[in-house]
Structure 1
């Protein structure tokens, strides 16, 4: 797996997200269409684990979290930036999603959750905010941000 292969894999997902509102319906659609344990989920999870092991994903560290933006918002990723984080029983920095955020949760520890969500997808709508939290172990989380927009806040 190379960064270019990873970009093509992610683009296969993001092309299905173009012009869809980021809301609960999208989360349901993603979890039904690209479910945890399904082919696309396994391919993305394997690619993320391989990328971390090879050092081109999660190549930064701060506050006990490994992270990294692998792609800025690009035409090839249909206007979504792509970040991957590696978190273990920790809450990350508070931030706002001006245009929303789509997350793929890939537990590395069985039962690990991200903001209370198990393996699979969660979607935050435009203007939402949170302090991303992995509990019950370790997980990789892939973040898709429309236009790469994120605003870190002191809250």
Structure 2
């Protein structure tokens, strides 16, 4: 797996997301189309683990969180930026999603959750905000941000 191959893998998903509203229906669709026991989820999770091990994902660290933006919004990723974070029993910095956020949760510890969600997909709509939290162990989380938009806040 290389960053270029990873980009192609992501593009297979983002190509089907382009133009869809970011809402609960999208989360349900993602979990049906790319279930935790399916090939795409497995391939994405394996690619993320490989990228972290090889140092081209999560190549920064701050406040106990490893993170990194692997791709800015590109035509190849259909206008989504791609970030991956590695967190263990921690809450990250509060932020707002001006255009929404799509998350793929990949527990590294069985039973680990992200904002209370188990392995799989969750979607935050435009204007939503949170303090991303991993509980019950360690997880990788892949973030897709339309137009790369995120606003960190003091809240």
The TM-score by the shorter chain falls in which range? over 0.9
Deviation at 1:32, TM superposition (A): 0.7
Matches within 5 A, 1:45-84: 45-84=45-84
- Aligned-partner Cα distance in 1 for 2:74–2:117: 28
What does residue 127 of structure 1 align with? 127
Cα displacement (A) at 1:141: 0.1
Q: Describe the SS at the equivalent of 1:32.
A: helix
The alpha carbon displacement at 1:92 in A equals 0.1
For each residue in 1:15-69, what CA deviation from the matched residue of structure 2 results, as whole angstroms up to 9, or x when unmatched? 0001100000000000011011210000000000000000000000000000000
* SS of residue paired to 1:16: helix
Measured after TM superposition, the shift of residue 102 of structure 1 is 0.0
TM-score between the two structures when normalised by the length of structure 1: 1.00
Q: Within 1, Cα distance between the matches of 2:138 and 2:37? A: 17
Give the Cα–Cα distance (whole angstroms) in 1 for the partners of residues 42 and 103 of structure 2: 15
Q: Does 1:8 align with 2:8?
A: yes
How do residues 34-53 of structure 1 correspond to structure 2 at under 5 angstroms?
Answer: 34-53=34-53
Q: 1: CA distance between counterparts of 2:108 and 2:37?
A: 13
Mind listing any 5+ residue stretches in structure 2 that lack a counterpart? none
Find the counterpart in structure 2 of residue 136 from structure 1: 136
Rounded to whole Å, the distance in 1 between the matches of 2:129 and 2:108 is: 25
Moved >4 Å (runs of 4+): none
2: CA distance, partners of 1:68 / 1:55: 10
Secondary structure of residue in 2 paired with 1:15: helix
Tell me by how many angstroms 1:12 deviates: 0.3
| Alpha-carbon displacement from aligned partner over 1:94-133 (angstroms, at most 9, x marks no partner) | 0000000000000000000000000000000000000000
The correspondence of residues 85-100 of structure 1 with structure 2, limited to 5 A, is 85-100=85-100
